[in-house]
Chains A and B, each alone.
Chain A
């Protein structure tokens, strides 16, 4: 069900000669429980779209409905209290303690003191801040990442169905950003809020978004899932924006478990003697075998090593320098392959048990699959 719907929404700043159309005839829907990334270069209208949604900017033309109710029919202060709002500069109130910052909207809504106290503690736990340590501190006493967590907690305070976020993690250093993004995704998996999230960072968009709305010069250019945006960019602008390395970006969307070989034929036991193994590998046309011990990958043996040996393979095993987790992205897997100069790696589950193998060829095949249509189109063009 659509939670937020934009119908022919236009926003013009100033009038006459100086008039600037910030949002140009935008129509789109945001489904309940989705994270939609409003993406684009600066000045493309993404932030304005967000600010139109909670009436921080008045609409010029068109309609925005939230839960099928026209936002112009709702008192603007009440509307904003129902929608969580988190911004890049965080905007914590420097004169208020952390708990009072988080409690702003519940207090505006007239919650009881006890209910507010409980909710603040709950939110601080949720955002990985120990209430005992942080409740009574002031924003200036927290690091940037911690302040941003408080910003998120404050946005969630009154448990709104909708959250508007304007580059919420833009001001944080890359390491902390990765972490807070991951935390936020975990939180969202539980809370299932409807989120409109402004970003100018394609990586963030791919990582965080269920869908991406790509804007340019006030117009919505493409509105699709990250996969479709990366594999089927609608035009040159989209292709340029997602970058020439978009094939690599697709890799970060695919998990190892999605493409791994679950039943490889070159599995060996530690007790197998070397000559038998060599024969076995030869017959199957493999140059190496994977040695398992108690269901866990012990390492691999190559035919070169096996050649003049007699004993069990246990003594000949080369250990894998890195084991792939099923949920690892192909991007990470490929990086490890390049780093350790191995064309095949083992995939393990959370207990470290062997679940399959993943090879460079598997990765190549999956990319080929994603870009099949584009390759065909280019092929046709090449022929004519």
Chain B
């Protein structure tokens, strides 16, 4: 109950931090998508590039987030961006790459070969085929990658509070340093709820953007 009253008494601050959290994750997801989806499509056409790109993304993912912030600190500090939202967004973009690139890559490769062959044989250019057939068929799986990335980033963004990025992680980090139990729990619970809501919303979006013909096929 005391956690609830903490949230109630500090509503303005909690709302602001929640908004900040969504903002950081949303922006980084957008940037990650702009980089990751085209990259994922590109590497389906260049098989030897594919392994290198996927391995790099894999390695990035294995670095613990707190360590990544640590590594970036001196590098970005050199450019005057050592702390704050900037390094946080960069880290989240890097972490998102694996699920986004890998899902896009797999989804495009999983388009039935006869479908691509028929399209090519009828005189569709590679771009046409991609735009009209391959991407629409791949879209549910690409979106599943974005969903994974979003949920994961909500968790990692909480840690980014330690480098001054703001967000709901602030409640946790300050709560720990002040041994203020209600504050810690409020932060943890709110981050979890946010993750669950975003996960559900992305699931709905996934269903919404799946072409009807594909849904029929699944039944």
* Chain A residues within 8 Å of B, Cβ to Cβ: 54, 56, 77-82, 85, 87-97, 104-105, 108, 138-141, 154-155, 164
User: Which residue of the partner chain, among A78, A79, A91, A108, contacts B118 with CB atoms under 8 Å?
Assistant: A91
* Chain B residues within 8 Å of A, Cβ to Cβ: 112, 114-125, 128, 132-133, 136-137, 211-214, 216-217, 219
Which A residues touch B119, using CB under 8 A?
Answer: 91, 93, 104
Asked if residues B114 and A90 are in contact (CB atoms below 8 Å), the reply is: yes
Which A residues touch B123, using CB under 8 A?
Answer: 77-82, 105, 108
User: Which residue of the partner chain, among B115, B128, B136, contacts A91 with CB atoms under 8 Å?
Assistant: B115
Chain B nearest CB from A92 CB (Å) reads 7
Which B residues touch A85, using CB under 8 A?
Answer: 118, 121-122
The verdict on A93 contacting B117 (CB below 8 Å), with A104-B122, A140-B216 known, is no
The verdict on A108 contacting B213 (CB below 8 Å), with A89-B114, A91-B114 known, is no
The verdict on A94 contacting B213 (CB below 8 Å), with A56-B117, A87-B114 known, is yes
Give the complex CA separation of A91 and B213 in angstroms: 14
Give the complex CA separation of A77 and B120 in angstroms: 8
Asked if residues A93 and B212 are in contact (CB atoms below 8 Å), the reply is: no
Asked if residues B124 and A140 are in contact (CB atoms below 8 Å), the reply is: no
Chain B nearest CB from A51 CB (Å) reads 8
Instruction: Closest A residue to B135 by CB, please name it.
Output: A95
Asked if residues B118 and A87 are in contact (CB atoms below 8 Å), the reply is: yes
User: Which residue of the partner chain, among A88, A108, A139, contacts B124 with CB atoms under 8 Å?
Assistant: A108
Give the complex CA separation of A139 and B214 in angstroms: 9
Instruction: Closest A residue to B125 by CB, please name it.
Output: A77
Q: 5 tightest A-B contacts by CB?
A: A91-B118, A81-B123, A80-B123, A89-B114, A138-B213
Asked if residues A91 and B216 are in contact (CB atoms below 8 Å), the reply is: no
Give the complex CA separation of A79 and B211 in angstroms: 30
* Cβ-Cβ contact count across A and B, 8 Å cutoff: 83
User: Which residue of the partner chain, among A89, A105, A138, contacts B217 with CB atoms under 8 Å?
Assistant: A138
Chain B nearest CB from A52 CB (Å) reads 12
Give the complex CA separation of A81 and B42 in angstroms: 25
Chain B nearest CB from A275 CB (Å) reads 73
Asked if residues B213 and A154 are in contact (CB atoms below 8 Å), the reply is: no
Give the complex CA separation of A189 and B211 in angstroms: 38
Give the complex CA separation of A139 and B116 in angstroms: 15
Chain A nearest CB from B18 CB (Å) reads 37
Asked if residues B213 and A105 are in contact (CB atoms below 8 Å), the reply is: no
Asked if residues A138 and B216 are in contact (CB atoms below 8 Å), the reply is: yes
User: Which residue of the partner chain, among A79, A87, A92, contacts B117 with CB atoms under 8 Å?
Assistant: A87
Asked if residues B121 and A56 are in contact (CB atoms below 8 Å), the reply is: yes
Instruction: Closest A residue to B137 by CB, please name it.
Output: A95
Chain A nearest CB from B219 CB (Å) reads 8
Which B residues touch A93, using CB under 8 A?
Answer: 115, 118-119, 132-133, 137, 213
Which A residues touch B132, using CB under 8 A?
Answer: 93, 96
A-B contact pairs, 16 of them (CB 8 A): A54-B121, A80-B123, A81-B123, A82-B123, A87-B121, A88-B114, A91-B116, A93-B213, A94-B214, A96-B133, A104-B119, A104-B122, A105-B123, A108-B124, A140-B213, A140-B217
Which B residues touch A95, using CB under 8 A?
Answer: 133, 136-137, 211, 213-214
Asked if residues B115 and A80 are in contact (CB atoms below 8 Å), the reply is: no
Asked if residues A89 and B122 are in contact (CB atoms below 8 Å), the reply is: no
Which B residues touch A108, using CB under 8 A?
Answer: 122-124, 128
Chain B nearest CB from A378 CB (Å) reads 46
Which A residues touch B217, using CB under 8 A?
Answer: 94, 138-140
Could you say which of B128, B137, B213, B219 has the most chain A C-beta atoms within 10 Å of its C-beta?
B213
Chain A nearest CB from B188 CB (Å) reads 42
